[in-house]
Structure formats: structure tokens, C-alpha cells
Structure 1
Amino acid sequence: MGRSPNETCWACSLLTPAEARKLHDAAVGGDGCWQDALCHSRRSYYRKGRGQGVRRRSQIAEIVVSVPEVPYVVLHTYVDQPRQANDEVVIHAMCAELWVGNQPRAMTQPQHTFGLPPRLVKEYARQLLEALYQQYGQGKRSGFERYAHEQQHSVSQCPVRPCAYHATHLEALVLRGMEG
């Protein structure tokens, strides 16, 4: 059995390279865990997974068989640390994205969910599925029963503004305080 994933490296892989260096490179005031020789490839590994090397080495001819275009829904969560399916990790924000085949068709507006109890977060996730079904289901439940995949993003990539994590709404208060 392989080593368990390093949660710090996994969370770092969700950040942009500039954010990762700022957070972890001691030269720019980070915590000092950044290592130029390792971090670039390690971040790539955590983003793309083990299968990339296997796919690249494959020299066998490929036959393309088209797949029926079936709708499926992807749940996007913004978290401050990696989470498993039933973890009690706080989900900062979430949205859902509808795909049909290989094309994205619709996305719900991202909303903050931090502060909600886990029961209400799960209920909100069900409401997102139901909203996409009502709009695009055409009476067919297939693809709308559950999420096909959960895509986790770093909380620093939260698209909702104003956002407590980014605190840009507080900058005006700080500037007013300096004037007075």
C-alpha cells in the first residue's frame, strides 16, 4: 500500500503557483516548506494524479467509440483542506455544473455555505441538483439523481464576493479609519 497523501501538498496544489509561493516560500515571507527542486512536480502530481504517466507511456493504437450524451452534474466545493465524502470539513462555498457529454451546459451561482450546519449544507446540495433537473431534466431523471463527481477547490479561489476569506469589503473601512 502506498503512502497516504500529504494534505499540505494537496491543498497547495489547488493554489496558483504565485499563491503557493507566497504561502510557503520563506524568501517571500511564507512558512518555509517550499522547495524549488520538489514542489513543481509534486504539485503537478497531486493535480493530475498517477495515471498521467501511464497514459503517456501507452503505445497501443486507440479506437474511439462514441459514448451516448448523458447529462451529469459536478459539485464544485471550496474548502480549506482536503475532504472525503463524509468528513465534517467546513465547505466554504459551493455550486453545481451540468454537463451533457463533453460539454458544460449550465452552472448554478456559487453561494457561501460556511456557517451552515452539515445537515443544511447537504440539503442545499440536493436543492442544486433539483434546480438543474427542473430547468434541464426534460422529465428524465437520469443524470440528476446524484453528483457524478465532486471537484474540490481551494478556499482562496472562492468566486463569491464579498467574501470573508478575501475580506475586500473591509478594505474601505480600513482606509476610512486611516483618514479619520
Structure 2
Amino acid sequence: MARRINQKCVACAQLSVAKARQLHGESGDGCWVEKRCHRRRSHYRNRQGLNEKRRVEYRQQVEVAKPDDGVERVSLEVAESTLPYANLYIWREKRKDAPVHAISATVIQDGQKVLEVEPIHCAGYRKRQLERYMEQKVMPYLKERFGITHFSNEIRLEPIECPLKDCPLKESFEFGGATDD
């Protein structure tokens, strides 16, 4: 298992050598070790780039090491235009009995969004009311305009991600959330 990152050393690595010696040397907290700190500071400054380079090299090794399984691989062209499909977006908490906060839909054709049904808040709506809204308003419109009879995907989003401007959850999160005192 990898050694934990020393947050003190990460902060120190961003300082100049003179400033680091002053803060952490004999006149400071005493953690500066001449033999070790130069190398450690360099490691922490270049850590992200080195790790990314290591990952790329590993991926290349894995690709080279894959045995040829004797299977012929063919790439075929995709049809020029694709049929449109609809996604249903449901803003609700993860638990199964959570109420639906908001609901929306989009239609995608040829990889681009061509229609977006504006999201609505569902506060106070019962399950049957939501089903009726989808069956009587949304689906007939999608069927008439695009020939869509069902949603391809149901995408669950957290209520705090609600896109509506007048969402009461956003206000309670912004003003009632944690403060930095």
C-alpha cells in the first residue's frame, strides 16, 4: 500500500528553499532534514506529472502485452442518420422511497440534443399525477413529433443539482449550509 501524502510537505514544496528552511529549519519547527527535503520537495512538486507519465507507460505496456487471440476485427460505417431517442431526467435522492423533486426529458438525434422538455418541480405530486403528466402531456408530444414511444434511459440526478432558478433546495443549501466562521 502506498505511503500517505504528508500535507505539511506538500505545502512546504510550494515555498522557496530559503523560506522553507526558515519555517521548518532550526529556527522554525525543526522538521527540515537537508539530505531528505530537497528530493521530497521535488517529488511533491512534480508528483502529478510523474504519475500521469507512469500511467501512460503502463497502458502502453498492457496494450503491447495483449495476446493476439486470432479474432478478425472489422470496423463498419455507422448509418448517416440515427433514430431519435429520449432520456428522462429525474431529480431525487438515492433512496428508493425518496420523493421525486423534479422531472424533465430530452430528445437526442445524431448525437446532438434537439429538444429539451423544461423541468418541472414535483413537490406535492403523487406518483399517479406524475405518470399522468408523462402519459398525457410529454409522451404524446414526443410520439407526434419524433415517433418516440418510450424513454431509452432514466437518469437520476441529485436534487441539489436542480436546474430551476426558483428551487427552494438551492436557497436552503446556499444560506443554511455550512459556514466558514
- Structure number with higher relative contact order (C-alpha < 8 Å, ≥ 6 residues apart): 1
**Bigger Rg, which one:** 2
